[in-house]
Amino acid sequence: MMQRTWSWIGECLSLNLALVVLLSLPAASSQAQAPSQLGEVTLFGEEEFTIQAATKTELPISKAPGSVTVISAQQIRESGSRTIPELLRMVGGVNVRWNPMVQSLDIRSFGQNPFTSRVLLLIDGVPYNSWNKGGFPQHPGFDFFMMQNIKRLEIVRGPGSALYGENAYWGVVNIVTLSGEDLQGGKVEFSGGDLLDQSVSAVYGQSSDKGSFLVSGRLQRGQLPLGFWIEDNDSEIEGSDIFVKAKRGGFEASYYRHEDELDGFSNPLGFVPGAFRSADKIKQTVDILAFKTSHELRQDLTFSSDISYAQREGSRCSSCHAAPQNEAFSDTVDHGFQLIGDFRLGLRMLPSHDILIGLEARRVDAGDHEDQLLQPTSTVNPVLAYTKVAAYVQDQISLAQDRFRITLGARLDGSNDLFDSALSPRIAAVYTPSDSVVLRGGWSSAFRFPNFNELYQDSWFLSADNGSFAFPLSVFAPNADLQPEEIRTFDLGAEFSLSPQASLKIDLFQSKVKDFVVLAFVSPPVGPTQVISENHPGEATIRGGELELRWQPSRQFSTLFNWSYQENEQDDTRVDSSGKAFEFVYSPENKFNLATYFGPFGGFRGTIEAEWRDEREGPSAWNFATGNQSTAILDSYTLVNARLSWDAPVRIGGSDEGLRFSVYGKNLLDEEIEETFLPIDTELPGATYYGAIEIRY
């Protein structure tokens, strides 16, 4: 196996070197110019973006030690997307799918977990993942932040635990928010359309010599776009968001609040003799408060810090899975909090060295929903709150007039009441042989702590209910012996300026996973099926890559194309307690994205975005419900979205753009798309249409 691994890495290196010879020589004969400012603008132009998530420091994207993509505010405004997950669908190596209650996200991976617990979500560099499920706090829901507040979206593919610790397993998504100085005015938008969609949002920001402020809000209603929510239950969801941000001197404070309420469901499982039902209402409130500081103590020494507090109050998981088991499961409860303090020193005392030293302290509390979790026994005493301290160091070494840059880093997450300590090292190099070529390579590792639900969930999973009597068909079986997951990744990349109008990027990777947490469905001789989170005894290898081309033939046209390829294999023959080898579910071998942005033509602008996704394997645990005894395969599909906007010749106040009318079309090929394999109707609706009016002032 090791010989095969090094052979594959050698092939990758040969491909990169060949591309350098073929492409860098003609490009070096003239000064490279910046292509269109769409997404990951260009590596070689004056308008080059900076990125924070890759190193916790601000640096040009061309110096980022890894495979990264930036989606700019301009691309967000001109895209056909209406939510962050829709934006991420167009990123190479990123897989987004609708599971029953929320869109889940995987990066260079496979979708065993529906909660996106293996991708770290940051808002302005501050962790945002749920401490109970590990994924996004808003579950269920449409989106996890308002697009109107985004300055840019940073996607880092590959392990990030050397800086961030847990959850940064497959990669990192950082939402960089707008500030008052970015707006100097405001925007109001009204939208509506199919699936009972209605929303109104507003944002306003200003700055002065003393600082800046921004305030925004959104009211929204509609339907989750899956068949069993729409056709079987006619459920609706209503939600609201508030975001406030203020800056003064080296200090910044922000507050984010999200609320939503969803109608419950009843009897989506047609094969069950009785109704599998949820609570009548499923609701939640999430609050996140963050304070940031940044000070230059002297020319070669800086201090910065992030302190954040997040809490959630809302429905339990059992309000959907086990409402008939206990009346209390239909109530909302306190789901606890997460308090994080991250303190950093930046040192530039040594020539060519940019050193970052950090200390993070974290307090996590599971809250008051212990009635659905494992209760203390003579052998197990669940830990529902703990404190953890981590330290990390990073050195960015610049050589040959910054043509060659090495990044070395490591983080030690100290032991806590649940797990032993975890060390996450990283090494990466970036080489710029000419003004039109950038080469990258590196090795990194990461881990993920199992979350409270995986360790202790102790309630029904599926049940039958005739109104007066209910019984479980399957139950969650807690597993307090879960161990952290591990991943180790090699990656190589190259980026080229083919001409002043075109650029090409290639990234290759190989990852090995160990102690991966899977769901095992075990049927005992008597009683309901047990659903157990357990560390799979086998190890697996994932290898693949992404190719991306950006082309701007004229000022009125820009095109983005990317291709993602991935293959997975188990390295041995070991099986979990249900007798199953690794199942690389929801992982397409090939994925293609094509986007074209055009305009303005007489005030009209438009976008066509298409995603083709290969066949994917579904979890075989559900085969019994469908009568399919072989491996479940989800069909390939093409998803085409479009937007057409008209900027009216109206100016309000000092704004350059006063009034915009937009229409959106989703799934224009009207395909019957199923992204999750379950014994319920998870089919997405056919073509849907929406309209929006935007007023800027």
| DSSP classification of residue 667 | S
Distance CA 157, CA 623 (A): 33
pLDDT at position 41 over 70: no
pLDDT of residue 370: 86
Q: For residue 236, which of 271, 281, 275 has the smallest C-alpha distance? A: 281
Percent of residues, the chain, with pLDDT higher than 90: 71
Is residue 112 pLDDT above 90, yes or no?
Answer: no
- pLDDT band at 638; cut points 50, 70, 90: very high
Most confident stretch, 109-113, 118-122, 676-680: 118-122
Query: Residue 18 above 50 pLDDT?
Result: no
Classify 352 in phi/psi space as left (phi over 0), alpha (psi -120 to 50) or beta.
left
The per-residue pLDDT for 37 is 35
Work out whether the CA dihedral 122, 176, 603, 608 comes out positive or negative.
negative
Domain of residue 579, residue span: 2-696
Tens-digit pLDDT profile for residues 280-339: 999 999 999 999 999 999 999 999 999 999 999 999 989 999 999 999 999 999 999 999
89 against 41, higher pLDDT: 89
- Residue position matching structure tokens 């090495």: 406
Confirm if 602 and 635 have CB atoms less than 8 A apart: no
Give 586-614 as a 3 state SS string. CCCCEEEEEEEEEEEECCEEEEEEEEEEC
Q: How many domains does the chain have?
A: 1
Amino acid making up residue 48: E
Higher pLDDT, 37 or 469: 469
**Cis before 100 (ω within 30):** no
> Would you say residue 446 has pLDDT above 70?
yes
Higher pLDDT, 450 or 32: 450
Tell me which residue has tokens 């991420």.
88
CATH number at residue 421: 2.40.170.20
Which residue is it, tokens 């697009």? Answer: 147
Stronger pLDDT, 488 or 228, i.e. the higher one: 488
Task: Tell me if the bond preceding 600 is cis, omega within 30° of 0.
Answer: yes
Quick: pLDDT tens for 240-286.
Answer: 999 999 999 999 999 999 999 999 988 777 666 667 889 999 999 99
pLDDT at position 630 is: 61
Q: In degrees rounded to 5, what are phi and psi of residue 553?
A: -70, -25
Q: Which residues contact 504 (CB under 8 A, 6 or more apart)?
A: 23, 495, 496, 498, 547, 548, 549
The answer to whether the beta carbons of residues 106 and 184 sit under 8 Å apart is no
Q: What is the arithmetic mean of pLDDT over 178-200?
A: 95
Closest by Cα among 411, 416, 287, 422 to 359: 411
Count of residues in the chain: 697
- E strands along 326-403, which residues? 332-347, 353-365, 385-399
**Helix, coil or strand: residue 350:** coil
Residue 5 pLDDT more than 70? no
Amino acid 626: pLDDT: 58
pLDDT (average), residues 568-573:
96
**Does the pLDDT at position 29 exceed 60?**
no
- Cα torsion 74, 77, 79, 83: sign: positive
Least confident of 81-85, 156-160, 635-639: 81-85
Per residue in 190-215, pLDDT (tens digit) is 999 999 999 999 999 999 999 999 99
Cβ atoms < 10 Å from Cβ of 127: 24
Mean pLDDT of the chain: 88
Question: In this structure, what are the phi and psi dihedrals at residue 528, rounded to the nearest 5 degrees?
Answer: -70, 160
Beta bridge pairs of residue 544: 509, 566
Name the burial class of residue 526, with classes exposed (0-12), middle (13-18) and buried (19+) by CB atoms within 10 angstroms of its CB: exposed
Residue 467 has pLDDT above 80, yes or no: no
Question: How does pLDDT run across 336-390, given as a tens digit for each residue?
Answer: 999 999 999 999 999 999 999 999 999 999 998 888 999 898 788 999 999 999 9
Residue 683 to residue 225: CA distance in whole angstroms: 8
Whether the Cβ atoms of residue 484 and residue 422 lie closer than 8 Å to each other: yes
* CA 462/CA 317 separation, integer angstroms: 12
DSSP 52: S
d(CA 86, CA 608): 13
Q: What is the pLDDT of residues 485-519, one digit of tens each?
A: 999 999 999 999 888 888 899 999 999 999 999 99
Distance CA 11, CA 26 (A): 24
Q: Tell me phi and psi for residue 37, to 5 degrees.
A: -85, 70
Q: Which helix (H) or strand (E) holds 253?
A: strand 251-263
The whole-number pLDDT of residue 193 equals 97
Within 8 A by CB and 6+ apart from 442, the residues are 65, 66, 158, 407, 426, 427, 428, 429, 490, 491
Tens-place pLDDT, residues 536-560: 999 999 999 999 998 888 888 889 9
pLDDT of residue 294: 95
Read out DSSP for 117-152? TTEEEEETTEE---TTTSS-S--S-S-SS-GGGEEE
Question: Quick one: DSSP state of residue 370?
Answer: G
Burial of 47 (0-12, 13-18, 19+ CB in 10 A): exposed
Spatial CA neighbour of 343 closest among 299, 380, 295, 378: 295
Query: Could you give the CA distance from residue 489 to residue 109 in angstroms, rounded to a whole number?
Result: 12
